[in-house]
Chains A and B, each alone.
Chain A
Amino acid sequence: MRGLEAGSLAFGIYFLLQAAVFHSVKVSRRALVLGGLWVAGLPIYGWLYTALPDDQAVWPAPLAAPSDFVTFLCGALLYFFFFMGYAQFFYMAESSVGVRTMIELASEPEKGLTLEELTQRYGYDWMLDRRLRRLIHAGYLIEEDGWYRTTVRGRLAAALLSQCKRLLRLGPGG
């Protein structure tokens, strides 16, 4: 339990810290801040693990694990997995078209909105431009005189995604 406790506590601290940062500062490079804070939390995980008592001293036998490398690794994995799960939630809140649609619909609870009205509320140019800028910033695309091309990295990503789509028969998607 020592590893799991340390991993959970470290993530709890990370969660509060990133919430405080994002609430108090308007962050433009969000992925960098999310990932950077997580990395900064790794020593905190190590410190928490060291500070917690051995399982044998506090937990009954079925819940006690030796304080070895595997226990330490499992706690670190939990810290990582919590972060991945939270990142999924964060980006759903940030970028999901579905979430934005529900929020738009919430502004007209009685009347509702038609597809045309939703389309008007959505600035598609803005939405597309935002994605393109991100892809350029991440090194997947380059832009020359208004033309967008994939970089080597972008080509590899596109090929991987296409292969996976074909393998799982998912259609064009997006």
Chain B
Amino acid sequence: MLKGLVLAIGFFVLFLVIHVLLFRLRVPERRFRAMVRIAFALGLVLVAAHRATSSEMGVLPPAYTTAGWAVDLLNSLLVYTFLFVGYSMFYFLIDRGFSGRIMIEIEADPNNRLRQSEIAARYSIEMVLRRRLNEMLEIGRITETGGCYRNTEKGRSAATMFAFVKRFLQLGEGG
């Protein structure tokens, strides 16, 4: 199982390097889609690398490399996928995190302090909603006609599912 773990971590690090380089050189228009594509392509290379290399890869202790190839590969893909999912969480926190933005705005103030009304003035509800609406338009969850936004079929399904989860887990209106 050790080979799969090592390959998963190695390919995830490679993903991070490519992702950072790409975003440094040219920010893609649809950023998260670009990340998913890089991760998927590297996942395919991971499978090939797993099948092409010996179980010890020349360096690993033989005691921990006796697992069957299929379970090792399955474990490797699971770890790689979940590392990507975990990183996506972090990425969205950086990119969209509202709480992070609040702290950054406070830090950017010359006196390092703000009132709630000042935070609201620097980052208005219109800005918050406009950004989310544009993202949802891009991924086809809503449409816009004459300034009116409506859910698409995809958006309706997501809204129904999340409304159920919110109700079932008693999460309140949220947002």
A105/B103 in contact, CB under 8 A? no
With a cutoff of 8 Å between Cβ atoms, the chain A residues found around residue B163 in the complex are 103, 106
Closest to B67 in A: A65
CB contact list, B62-106 vs A, under 8 A: 63-64, 66-72, 74-75, 78-79, 82-83, 85-86, 88-89, 91, 93-104, 106
Closest to B130 in A: A115
Q: Of residues B88, B145, B149, which shows the largest number of chain A Cβ atoms within 10 Å of its Cβ?
A: B149
With a cutoff of 8 Å between Cβ atoms, the chain A residues found around residue B106 in the complex are 141, 148-150, 154, 158
B residues with CB within 8 A of A: 1-2, 5, 20, 23-24, 27, 31, 63-64, 66-72, 74-75, 78-79, 82-83, 85-86, 88-89, 91, 93-104, 106-107, 112-116, 119-120, 123-133, 135-136, 141-142, 145, 147-151, 155-156, 158-160, 162-163, 165-166, 168-175
A residues with CB within 8 A of B: 1, 3-4, 19, 22-23, 25-27, 30, 55, 59-66, 68-71, 74, 77-78, 81-82, 84-85, 87-88, 90, 92-103, 105-106, 108-115, 118-119, 122, 124-125, 127-129, 131-132, 134-135, 140-141, 146-150, 154-155, 157-159, 161-162, 164-165, 167-170, 172-174
